[in-house]
A and B are shown apart, each in its own frame.
Chain A
Amino acid sequence: MSSGSVAEAGEMQDGKVPRRHFVNILLGTGLLASAASFLYPILKYLVPPKLPDLGSNTVLAAKVADLKPNTAKLFRFSTRPGLLIEIAAGEYRAMSATCTHLGCTVQYRPDLREIWCACHNGMYDLNGRNISGPPPRPLEAFDVQVRGDDIYVRRKQEA
């Protein structure tokens, strides 16, 4: 191809797409597509795989002897902490211990008989309802079952 024809091919003629422009589009889309095929595995790799949830819906939270009235205990519910409170002799409440505000772990305040989150001074009552401070939602409540000496906590079944 002579240099003259290259110059012509590069110019717009009769409203047609110039050859150079066309080649650039072909090359560009090809490169873009292959770049996407390189980036896709990397982006997928960055997403951590979901670990199987080993915890069942019921856990052994404590022994009856572990708690006295007006005390509480944190227990492991699957991968997250839960809070078990003995509000009066033999009367238990259990709920998620993850604050609904920004995810700190809450604690039981025997002096106030309330549940308190130290991070931003959030307060919940003994049913887990948010009563003051920034928490937007109540804590997820669990069912408690006492079987002999063991206290089991179970996720509430959908009604």
Chain B
Amino acid sequence: MASLATGIRGWLDERFHLDDLKALAQKKKVPLHRYSYWYFLGGMTLFLFGVQVLTGALLLLYYRPGADEAFESVQFIMTQVQFGWLIRSVHSWSANLLVFMAFAHLFSVLFLKSYRKPRELTWVTGILLLFLMLGFGFSGYLLPWNTLSYFATKVGTDIPAQIPLIGHPILVFLRGGEDITGSTLTRMFGFHVAILPAIATFLIALHVGLIQWFGMSLPPSVEAEWHVDPGKKKEIRFFPNFALRELMAWYVALGLLGALAALFPWGLGVKADPFAPAPAGIKPEWYFLFMFQTLKLIPAKLLGMDGEMLGILAFGLVGAAALLVPFLDRDKPFRTRRWITGFACVFLGYMAAMTVYGWVAK
């Protein structure tokens, strides 16, 4: 048995020089300091994405897109297929935790200033990935074809339609026509299982590759301390030390997902009926709630402009600013722009407050 393993290793080594790979794996070090725990968030997001890929592939075995079949097929998964309820609930829970984790990862990187030179592109790919995850959330939401998802998609696709000139073509592109129909479902299904995953695979590979390339970033305060007193510098090897710790966190996350799915299984709701009125208290998923609530609060006319338009414009600007953060900060070591942190704090507070407000508001 052992000789067989040695034999296979030898065969591979002869062709791929495994020792080089091993050296590469051992080269990467993870700094150990008071903020080290934040390093886990990115890996956790990646893990949850993996859970999504696996459970998503499993759901595809029984799911059927189409206005006449989608709801029934999800119902079939939930009630007839063994452990179907578990797979679907894990997919839904993991999707929500994934978005949460991606936001947590974003803000930890923002506050620890890990986006600074030379890691600008790592940040940009990360922001693009966050947008992509929101796209996954939005497109996946329609797939069970229930009342909630039907109207959420109607409202969600109506928002970009407010943009002058390109608004209407975007709406038609997203809906596959003027209205939410079976064509919209086919389209969202295509986005959700083919187009977005293809882009995500590329971006994740790039994002993770860049992290491997540059190594772990040090927060400016820790960097300054270690610069003054090099004796304080502490690092552990990424492989196996950090990887094993990360694995342990993933293991706990998997257990948590299973528990959440078992104790709070995801409901299915009522089948979508295009000719039924929108149900009272209709809300989007929590991660869109802060935008939803803002658009609800803005008056119809503001500063001589369409209020809705203004809100969309503001969120567009925030999105663009998020992409540009690394280019707004200074690239001097130890000295960073405090207003970026301040602005991030304000935005985080705004998001949290509006989400809670949207949650409790009627």
Chain A contacts to B: CB under 8 angstroms? 34, 38, 41-42, 44-49
Contact = CB atoms under 8 A, between A and B. Distances in A.
A44 B83 contact: yes
A41 B86 contact: yes
Contact of A38 (B58, B62, B82, B254): B254
A49 B58 contact: no
B58 A47 contact: no
A41 B81 contact: no
Nearest to B258: A38
Contacts of B276: none
A85 B84 CA distance: 44
B209 to A, nearest CB: 29
A45 B82 contact: yes
Contacts, number: 29
B80 interface: yes
Interface in B82-99: 82-84, 86-87
A48 to B, nearest CB: 7
- Label chain B's interface by main secondary structure: helix
Contacts of A46: 58, 61
A49 B255 CA distance: 26
Interface residues of B, number: 14
A44 to B, nearest CB: 4
A44 B62 CA distance: 13
A45 B81 contact: yes
Which has the most chain B C-beta neighbours within 10 Å: A41, A42, A47? A41
Given A47-B82, A49-B81, A41 B87 contact: yes
A45 B83 contact: yes
Nearest to B254: A38
B83 A48 contact: no
A11 B61 CA distance: 51
9 contacts: A38-B254, A42-B58, A42-B87, A44-B82, A44-B83, A45-B58, A45-B87, A47-B82, A49-B82
A34 B254 CA distance: 11
A49 B80 contact: yes
B86 to A, nearest CB: 5
Nearest to B90: A41
A26 to B, nearest CB: 15
A41 B258 CA distance: 11
Contacts of A42: 58, 83, 87
Contacts of B86: 41, 45
Contacts of A45: 58, 61, 81-84, 86-87
A41 B85 CA distance: 10
A34 B247 CA distance: 14
A42 B82 CA distance: 9
A41 B80 contact: no
Interface in B253-304: 254-255, 258
A44 B86 CA distance: 11
Most buried by B among A41, A44, A45, A49: A45
Nearest to B255: A34
